[in-house]
């Protein structure tokens, strides 16, 4: 199947009991057994649920993987991945990443003896220099949040395979519509389904997709044992959202390109971070490993004043000031005080995350309305 067909049909079958075309919401905690241990594949909904199964199969197909697993949030998915490790293990992570990921690495799992290295990853050879016998995982976001850096997944994958280290890629910003990390050599793909895949700002959920059977078995054990699983109604909402992922992403990308160009030419804007520009440091990598450049944009203001950024964010009328991203509506945020506030200021500034940086999640509205909204918000600075 082509992608636009897979989002609607992959892993999904009509309900055998009624013929319902939409996957039912199996709102049940347990399942009747004919005899002890003799059941129809489902025993208890923490372990398996038919609605969740359909979503997991669909996600695996979208990432061209074998096994999909869903969790109560993106952070629950990351928490589960970290539980593959033991005290003394080390993780090499990009230094430009979502604040919640940094927090769980630096303030939760570091307490249990896992060591994290946060480094720039624009050069795979620099990553290799840090690998020791204790290194067990390399953690990548691409595009990164919020500086929109692009990391060469295939290049990092070659290093990871050479040293028999897991490569995990957070594919939330790109979605499987724009890139498939497993095909580029990654071992693990993670998503915050809350964002583009669900797409309507009405559900919180995470997912992991892998190819390796043994790894899938370990993750399934942890999923069941630790229990951070989503409910069937949330799974239904994500399945419904995914059906329009391809058409939504086309519009996100189209609008993102227009807004990025508009901001780049605005006299009040210092710099625009968007991988579609030819002068982006890793534009060539983005062009090779992605199908398009997405709808996430960050920009800084001339003068780099916090009060200017706050003023603009308060004046937006179409862009909504809120946490999160990837919904049909356009969102704006201030990473330094919102999504990345848990990262120390000195660490934020190392990657260029200044006080005036504004992050936009460009939605699917009429792009002229979005341009006009930016114009009126920047007016008077």
Give catalytic status of residue 98 as yes or no.
yes
Rg (CA), the chain: 21
How are beta strands 206-210 and 67-71 bridged, if at all? antiparallel
Q: Are 65 and 217 in contact (CB under 8 A)?
A: no
Catalytic residue chosen out of the listed positions 98, 102, 196, 273: 98
Helix, strand, coil % in the chain, rounded to nearest 5: 40, 15, 45
Q: ∠ at Cα 356 (95, 335), nearest 5°?
A: 45
Question: Which of 192, 186, 197, 216 lies closest to 68 in space, CA to CA?
Answer: 216
Catalytic residue chosen out of the listed positions 46, 243, 268, 305: 46
Catalytic residue chosen out of the listed positions 195, 248, 348, 371: 195
Catalytic residue chosen out of the listed positions 170, 187, 292, 308: 170
> Could you give the CA distance from residue 297 to residue 94 in angstroms, rounded to a whole number?
19
Q: Which H or E run includes 221?
A: helix 213-226
Handedness of CA 186, 295, 22, 5 (dihedral sign): negative
> Could you give the CA distance from residue 188 to residue 380 in angstroms, rounded to a whole number?
47
Q: What are phi and psi of 163, to 5 degrees?
A: -105, 10
Give catalytic status of residue 195 as yes or no.
yes
DSSP 3-state of 348: helix
Residue 52: exposure state from Cβ atoms within 10 A (0-12, 13-18, ≥19): buried
Q: Which residues are catalytic?
A: 46, 98, 170, 195
């Amino acid at each position: 199947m082509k992608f636009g067909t897979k989002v609607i049909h992959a892993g999904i079958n009509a309900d055998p009991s009624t013929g319902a075309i939409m996957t039912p919401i199996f709102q049940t905690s347990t399942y009747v057994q004919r005899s002890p241990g003799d059941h129809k594949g489902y025993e208890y909904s923490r372990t398996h649920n038919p609605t969740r199964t359909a979503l997991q199969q669909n996600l695996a197909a979208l990432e061209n993987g074998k096994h999909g697993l869903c969790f109560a949030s993106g952070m629950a998915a990351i928490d589960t991945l970290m539980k593959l490790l033991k005290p003394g293990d080390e993780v090499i992570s990009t230094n430009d990443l979502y604040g919640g990921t940094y927090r769980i690495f630096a303030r939760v799992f570091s307490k249990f003896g896992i060591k994290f290295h946060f480094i720039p990853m624009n050069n795979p050879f620099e990553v290799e220099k840090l690998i020791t016998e204790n290194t067990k995982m390399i953690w990548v976001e691409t595009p990164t949040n919020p500086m929109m850096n692009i990391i060469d997944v295939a290049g990092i994958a070659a290093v990871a395979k050479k040293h028999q280290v897991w490569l995990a890629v957070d594919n939330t910003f790109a979605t499987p519509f724009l890139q498939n990390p497993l095909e580029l050599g990654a071992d693990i793909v993670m998503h915050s389904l809350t964002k583009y895949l669900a797409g309507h700002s009405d559900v919180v959920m995470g997912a992991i997709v892998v190819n390796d059977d043994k790894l899938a078995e370990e993750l399934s054990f942890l999923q069941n044992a630790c229990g951070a699983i989503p409910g069937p109604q949330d799974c239904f909402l994500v399945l419904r959202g995914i059906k329009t992922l391809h058409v939504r992403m086309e519009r996100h990308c189209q609008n993102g390109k227009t807004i990025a160009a508009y901001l780049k030419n605005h006299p009040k804007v210092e710099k625009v971070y968007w991988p579609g520009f030819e002068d982006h440091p890793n534009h060539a990598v983005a062009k090779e490993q992605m199908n398009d450049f997405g709808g996430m944009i960050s920009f800084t203001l001339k003068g780099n004043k916090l009060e200017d950024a706050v003023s603009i964010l308060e004046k937006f009328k179409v862009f909504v000031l809120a946490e999160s991203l990837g919904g049909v509506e356009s969102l704006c945020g201030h990473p330094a005080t919102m999504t990345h506030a848990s990262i120390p200021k000195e660490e934020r500034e190392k990657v260029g995350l200044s006080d005036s940086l504004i992050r936009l999640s460009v939605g699917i509205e009429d792009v002229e309305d979005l341009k006009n909204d930016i114009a009126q918000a920047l007016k008077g600075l």
